[in-house]
Chains A and B, each alone.
Chain A
Amino acid sequence: MAKPVNVSDAYLVKLDRQAVRKRRHGIRKHKLLYLMILPGFLYFVVFKYFPMGGLVIAFQDYQPYQGIMGSPWVGLKHFVRLFTEPTFFMLLRNTLILFGMNIVFFFPLPIILALMLNEVRHKFFKNSIQTLIYIPHFMSWVIIVSITYVFLTVDGGVVNELLAALGLSKIGFLTSSEWLRTVYIGQIIWKELGWSTIIYLAAITVVDTQLYEAAEMDGASRLRKTWHVTLPAIRPVIITLLILKIGSTLDLGFEHMYLLLNSLNREVAEIFDTYIYTAGLKNGQLSYSTTVGLFKGVVGLILVMLSNRLAKKFGEDGVY
């Protein structure tokens, strides 16, 4: 927008007023719409932005009974501690490796499954399969980890009994650091695979059927149609989900890992979320764990912005 040259201030004020009037008119015109936004807006202010003020305790030695006002300010003390403790690199390494495995082994699976479901022609069969594969999503991690325990334990677990029957030696899946990551990713796949297909399936349904017909005319096989029609059509959805996922890189979720964590696999299993829990809530170091949480949040924000920019560079829409 080029700035007009040689115009008086009065003119500018007039323009400005007009804009304001227009805007106010807009609000009046759509006041019902604005009213509808209000609860959501309030929700964010009260439950998301308002509590964010509490982040200042990362720069304090916060003591609950002294409150935010009374607690002493310590500057970057907790950040220095975080970055100088050897645990930090262990946490970062474990988190990044698990995240990487998640992207490589888990992320493509729902896409493949959705494409496969899309090829199923029998309607009833397809719907039943869809419903069935959603079920694991509704189980809590406690249940899933307990089931895994029953299967994998060395004391009479099915898998180990089977190994023994085959003449192989038993494997301590639950107590070894080598198996932890496999078990972890395996559980995620088992629980979330079906549920994650929902968005892709929804995206596939809006693909223009004429495209398929055209491809058929050109003699494309089913595989070709999937590759050249379906996949490009759902590419924006894939990119969006990937960006969102990258934003939560350091946010693997507390509950799942906490249930798997024990003394024998800690060096590969301890992640930021479990560390915050033990350091913050169990040991009562509220300021320090806030620092860790803040670090996590900032890294997540930067990653989202970076991947969003990257997506735009490759000609995609991005999330904002």
Chain B
Amino acid sequence: MNQSVSRNARKAAAALLCTTFLLLGACGNSGKQAASDQPYDENAKANITWLNILHTASPPTDTVLNKLEEKTNADIQFSWIPDASKEERINTALASDSLADIVTLTLLDNSSVRNSLKSGLFWEVEPYLNDYPNLAKISEDTRRSASIDGKLYGVPFQKDLARNGITIRKDWLDKLGLETPHTTDELMEVARAFTEDDPDGNGKRDTTGFVDRSDLIYGAFKTLSSYFGTPNNWAVSDDGKMTPEFMTDSYISTMNYMKELYENGYINKDFAVTAKTDQQQKFAQGKAGIYVGAIFDSKNLLNMAKGIQDNMELALVNDITQNGDESERAIWAANNGIGGLLAFPRSEVKDEAELKRVLKFVNDLMDEDAYALMTYGIEGTHYTVDDQDAATITNTDLWQQEVQPFAASRPKESGYPIHDADPLKQESDKLIAENANYAVLNPAYSLESETYNTQGSELQKIVVDATYKYILGEIDEAGFKSAVKNWRKSGGDSIISEYEAAYKANQS
């Protein structure tokens, strides 16, 4: 009966669908400009797109990039992802398959990153590494730690194992006649003195000892927890039993220490909602004298203090222990020293020849002059270098704009003859190298747990929240224990048993 109507409706629908597909098709085409279908010649100029993480406020200008392109004989197209939003940006890029020839993956314990690596979305590179002089030098340990299920799905970033320590106002210590602290008690005393004894001499009680931020890991808490002997995320016993760090007594000791700092006002009261930039500002403005974080932040802090706190002198400390025993020294290693992977998606890097060209590019990035370019910039413009290979940055503003954004893109960050002439930077490099001897690894880092992959970070929130509440005095030890019990009940117990099974499988 309604034939003509339905026919018309169908026609209309068909037309509509066509339009839709046309529109979608058009979008699809424009998104993929200059598809690189031509086969790659080792020595030809390469077109390389790179989905990369940006740690600075704005992307670099072209000056250094042009030099880098010249050096590596490549045309480089960066797509920058701000570090703060990398989780969701990388996840959406993976979900929508909008990737690039090179993808910087820094969060290897993120479940969707892990799943896509395991699914074979990226090239497995281990068989090729030894063909390239710089890549061949990547140690077996690093390759193993960066592998998932025994397979290496990208070139690992080689970072220093353990970079955290304490930066203290040396001039304040001297003024109050204090020694550099080496035990947790001495550190507490320094924090007390910095708070109560007017280290800046203005007659007001307007300083605190510590200045911390809302970050239990890269802020003060985790580093202090190492000083109390807490394991790095997980401890494994000889018989293969796994214990999460927050079920150890030393974790409780660390919380008590932080609680004491908080109750006595030796730490900024609002540390639980303070951002990293505010934290560093406060230190630079002379509102606090103890900063716990990456040791190399000290150079940055001193730079920020120029013109505000001109008499600032800094001491770097990496040997705090409970009793001052060398044997007790420990410092956690972030991601076991793996900064992530430079991964090559099969959807973009179509064949082996292309993969080889991209690997050659990464290899070239690890050459010393490429390293110098990405670290210090262009000689004469950004820095000068003396005959000892010591580089001095001459134009800090320009360097920050044009060079600094590349710093996190270096596949390898140390082990080159060229080095910073700045004494503070040299000192921090030395301490970071020293840290490696005491580094505490996370035994679960390369283990698989299905529950952790799906609910791990949700569960982690339970413990993180309880830790903050304990420090701020909102719950007591019984309250914390019940939060841990809640963690175990909501899935923590499965994580423990899955890790134990994976650990056993790995051992045999």
Contacts and interface: CB of A to CB of B under 8 A. Distances in A.
Given A154-B270, A172-B270, A264-B468, A281 B87 contact: yes
Interface string B107-123: 00011110110010100
Interface string A52-71: 00000000000111100000
Given A266-B461, A277-B88, A63 B119 contact: yes
B113 A263 contact: no
A146 to B, nearest CB: 10
Given A46-B20, A266-B461, A174 B119 contact: no
Nearest to B206: A156
A286 B91 CA distance: 10
B41 interface: no
B465 A264 contact: yes
B60 to A, nearest CB: 25
Given A63-B119, A65-B116, A155-B270, A20 B5 contact: yes
B363 to A, nearest CB: 28
Interface in A80-102: 86-87
Contact of A16 (B2, B96, B270): B2
Contacts of B469: 263-264
A302 interface: no
Interface in A1-50: 12-13, 16-17, 20, 42, 45-46, 50
B97 A65 contact: yes
Given A13-B1, A16-B1, A65-B119, A283 B457 contact: yes
Contact of B464 (A13, A46, A263, A286): A263
A263 B270 CA distance: 12
A23 to B, nearest CB: 8
Contacts of B457: 278, 282-283
A284 B472 CA distance: 32
B20 A284 contact: no
B91 A175 contact: no
B110 A284 contact: yes
Interface string A284-295: 111000000000
Contact of B273 (A17, A149, A285): A149
A153 interface: yes
Contact of B88 (A153, A155, A266, A282): A282
B83 interface: no
Chain A binding surface, main DSSP class: helix
Chain B binding surface, main DSSP class: helix
Nearest to A174: B273
B454 A175 contact: no
Interface residues of B, number: 47
A12 to B, nearest CB: 8
A263 B454 contact: no
A17 B5 CA distance: 9
B111 A283 contact: yes
B88 A285 contact: no
A262 interface: yes
Given A262-B273, A263-B465, A264-B472, A45 B92 contact: no
B38 interface: no
A262 B116 contact: no
A153 B113 contact: no
B458 A284 contact: no
A201 interface: no
A64 B214 CA distance: 33
A279 interface: yes
Interface string B350-368: 0000000000000000000
Contacts of B4: 17, 20
B410 interface: no
B270 A279 contact: no
A278 B460 CA distance: 12
B44 interface: no
A279 B455 CA distance: 8
B272 A153 contact: no
B452 to A, nearest CB: 11
B95 A64 contact: yes
B251 to A, nearest CB: 16
B94 interface: yes
A65 B399 CA distance: 40
A45 B96 CA distance: 20
B409 to A, nearest CB: 23
A20 B211 CA distance: 77
Interface in B38-80: none
Interface string B7-25: 0000000001001100110
Given A172-B270, A263-B272, A284-B94, 6 more contacts: A63-B115, A172-B269, A175-B270, A263-B465, A264-B474, A284-B112
10 contacts: A17-B4, A42-B16, A46-B23, A65-B94, A65-B97, A172-B270, A263-B272, A263-B468, A283-B455, A283-B457
6 tightest A-B contacts by CB? A284-B112, A281-B88, A64-B95, A263-B468, A154-B269, A263-B465
